[in-house]
Structure 1
Amino acid sequence: MVPRLKGEIFLESMAQGDSATMSQEHSQQAVRQRCLTALAAVSSRPSVVKESTPVLLQVLTSSHTGTGSFSLEEVISVCHNLQRIAEHAQDTEETGRVFHDIIIPRLLGLALQAAMQGSSDHQSPLVEESVLSAMVPVISTTCVRLQSQLAGQTASRAVSLFLDGDTSFLPENAFPSQIQLLKKQAGDSWSQSQMVCLLMGCVCSLPRSVEVPQMDRLLLELEELSCTCDHPLSYTSAAKCYAGLVNKRPAGEASSPVLDLNEDWSSECW
């Protein structure tokens, strides 16, 4: 069934073009939407998840590169359907590995490619706030269900990416060596800093038992971004991530020196 649905999705995408009438385009989009929903509906067993999720990721890739005529609404729908799979697929180690090894790295990689994209005729929809906001629950829903070992690896990877620019776990790794996703960008640029919402999805939904590495340094960077950046998605996500990490601390645990030193600054910023 998955190959048939994939064929319908990409056949309709290729068929849509300048010669298509408005009614034809709406009809084609409706067919694709039904196929995307059907993919999520049949993806309960791990074997099907391994087959269906690459199709959804291919839609995101095609929309990012401009090789497919997918609308912004369809891109958002793909994210919603990935979230449905994360919610309803059988909770097995095999399913967890699909999301840990393939889906989360692919989402982060595509978002980073879009964020670093220079001026071109095609602007990736993956820089749109609505798309990034739809990616967050895909990641957070996955992290809630990951087994402890995989959850710990996810936390470590995400923190290394956002603090140190470590892209070694991302597919098609051809990124610059100097990436600073938690720094305010020059001028009015915000495409990289807004990715902090994906960091929030990675670390704030993890069980309390999963240690987030470099916590103090991460809190400092998040606090600075939330106080210095004037892009709404960037500073609100940084503040929410900061609060989420603080709330993960066990009750009664001694506060971090970072929290003590920055208490006054935090109250002024927020």
Structure 2
Amino acid sequence: MVVDLVNTVAGLLGLALTALTLTRVRAVRRAQRDERTLIRTLYGTDAAATRIRAAASHLARSRDAKARELAQDLILFSGQIEGVSRALDSDGRAASATGAVELKEEGYFTSEFLAEVVAGARQAIDVLMYRPITIATAPVLAALRDAAERGVEIRMLALSVEATDEVLSHGATVMPAAAVYQPEQLRPQLLEAERRIAIHVKTWPAAAQRRLGYRRYRTPPGPHLIRADRVISAGFVDLQSGPMPVRFDERVFIQLPADGKLGTHFTSHFEVVWASAEPAPMQ
């Protein structure tokens, strides 16, 4: 009887200590998050990025070539500020255990890959792609809707149908061999994919629709990536080191923490392109 009582008391004490430890861990995380927010407020980084972006927008409309060049530099600078802020704000629940860069042998940007990545996101999803055909498939759009409904903020960047022939030609050269070869083939594919996305998004609840941002960029394609919370998956789509794979599931990619040096670079690049891109009509 006494032994049973001692065991019961010991079990209750262990449970209480576990609960206390968990509460303290959560409190520390909240304190760290609040500290980061306070630092950004004191130094005015958020406000500075907004003002720099506004100044860049004004200078970009100037007829003076030097003013437009300065505008591009300011956009880059504001993107770097916002990229670092987003990396710091991520909570790390989806980060790899080691925090190291991992090479994945296949499966990049397939429908299955995207649906799995989106399903694991809890805060934010950023996608920088060339052509949104895979995004426009039913499984991925359904996963995006579920993510938006649970409060995930989603931003997507794709090539603009109004980009120059030179830009689209470059985009065509870095796509899988079974894709496209000329700008006149790529433009209708971009439009059709956007149309499918728009039709699906119109069925989402209003709150979920507001969490989706879709923009077009007109610059030559650079990195190709998707960021889910604190993990970035980046494809070797733009590396001309050998023949492009015929199938999407043959493409290799890397996964890395968004708050590391390389991850911060990718995040900053996304912010730069996002700031300079135009919202798609999505209708």
**TM-score of the superposition, structure 2-length normalised?**
0.28
Please state which structure has a larger fraction of its residues in helix.
1
More strand by share: 2
Structure with the greater alpha carbon radius of gyration: 2
Q: Which has the higher contact order (CA 8 A, sep 6+)?
A: 2
The normalised TM-score by structure 1 is 0.29
